[in-house]
Amino acid sequence: MWAYIRLVSALLCAILLCGCKTITLDESFVFQPGQFGDPDDPRLTKMKYEQVFSTPTDLTIDVWADGQTAQHHIRSRDFVKTKLMHEALRYGEDVLAITRIERPGTARPLIVHCGGNASDRYESGTLYAQKMIAYADVVMFDYPGYGDSTGRANATSLRAANQTLANYVNRELSARQPLLLWGHSLGGFVCADMAARLNRVDGIILETTATNAQDVSKAVIPWFAKLFIRARPAESLQAYDMVETLKTETAPILILGAQKDKTLPVELSRKLAAGLQAAGRDVTYVEFPNANHISVPTQDNFLPTLTGFVSGLNKQAFSQALGQAELRSAALRP
């Protein structure tokens, strides 16, 4: 929110000074930890409403983003009883806080979830997990400087954290089940970076996101200011380009667009889908006509879309996972 206020102030100043001005969007516009809750209230590695995982309960969560609101109704019948575990992964002097939510004893896909630029596990974890827990186990994490993770909220720290989480997934989890990445908004860029660091990825879901930082910087300028203002991303953000990053990724990709998205207009999701298709990737694009930036999971055809995509991956992904596990076992035999 404060980054948005600073942007609007810069726009007004530029317009008052007249002429065309180029402004640079720095990392503080992209990374916005601590947008929710009381910063003096310790999080203590927990998630708000996390009791619904052990005791499924009807619950309504109100969410907002850039003036857009949505009500997420969590119904007890949509949940399966699961085990929730909070962990801390150390890398260098910093700690990466993660949460695993899984149903022991069953073979289900695993989703690594990457949230938006203002979300952390405490405020948004239950909401994000609700999207997928009925048919998949979940790993989610706080970006550096967010929630329970230490470090600075910037692109350099995020790449180091991504490598730490990828090492953990490669070592501890990925051989057990089909592995998917799911990124919402900023999380789409995070997942694209993560894909290159994992031993394998069986599917990627990109929700209300964009192709690159340049397209995002253009989208955040209001229509009335575009005659006076040009925006460009800081150099540290220009490496975020999903078509370039995913151009060699063979896993199927599902892109979810929202026609009423005011944060990242739906044209950016359409452009991302077209760019990946032009690069020869296996892309499915689904657009939700009544959804905004944060309400895709509330749409009537959301669950059928997701379950159809995930179930289509399962047979092949499980076969590949089992085959890789058998190869590793054989290599360890004397």
Mean pLDDT, the chain, integer: 81
Model confidence at 334: pLDDT above 50: no
pLDDT at 65: 66
pLDDT at 296: 92
pLDDT at 322: 43
Distances (CA, A) of 121 to 33, 64, 267, 303: 11, 16, 29, 22
Backbone phi and psi for residue 284, each to the nearest 5 degrees, phi listed first: -115, 125
Query: Please, which residues have CB within 8 angstroms of residue 35's CB and are 6 or more apart in sequence?
Result: 1, 118
Render 143-169 in DSSP notation, one character per residue.
Answer: PTTSTT--S-SSHHHHHHHHHHHHHHI
Architecture per CATH, 2-332: 3-Layer(aba) Sandwich (3.40)
pLDDT at 217: 75
DSSP-derived pairing of the beta strands 68-74 and 59-65: antiparallel
Write out pLDDT tens, residues 277-314. Answer: 999 999 999 999 999 998 998 888 998 898 889 888 86
Report pTM.
0.83
Task: Identify the band that residue 46 occupies on the pLDDT scale cut at 50, 70 and 90.
Answer: confident
Distances (CA, A) of 232 to 9, 25, 130, 133, 238: 16, 6, 35, 38, 9
Nearest to 269 by CA among 280, 278, 260, 258: 258
Indicate the SS3 state at residue 261. Answer: coil
pLDDT at 101: 92
Model confidence at 3: pLDDT above 80: no
Model confidence at 176: pLDDT above 60: yes
CA distance 207 to 188: 7
Q: Where are the domains of the chain?
A: 2-332
pLDDT (mean) for 171-187: 87
Write out pLDDT tens, residues 98-138. Answer: 999 988 777 788 999 999 988 889 888 888 888 888 778 99
Write out pLDDT tens, residues 260-276. Answer: 998 899 999 999 999 99
Query: Please, which residues have CB within 8 angstroms of residue 85's CB and are 6 or more apart in sequence?
Result: 99, 100, 101, 102
Task: Count Cα atoms within 13 angstroms, Cβ side, for 292.
Answer: 13
| Site of tokens 């999207």 | 131
Backbone phi and psi for residue 94, each to the nearest 5 degrees, phi listed first: -110, 165
pLDDT at 134: 78
Determine what percent of the chain is predicted with pLDDT higher than 90.
Answer: 42
Determine what percent of the chain is predicted with pLDDT higher than 70.
Answer: 75
Write out pLDDT tens, residues 214-258. Answer: 888 777 665 555 555 666 666 766 777 899 999 999 999 999 999
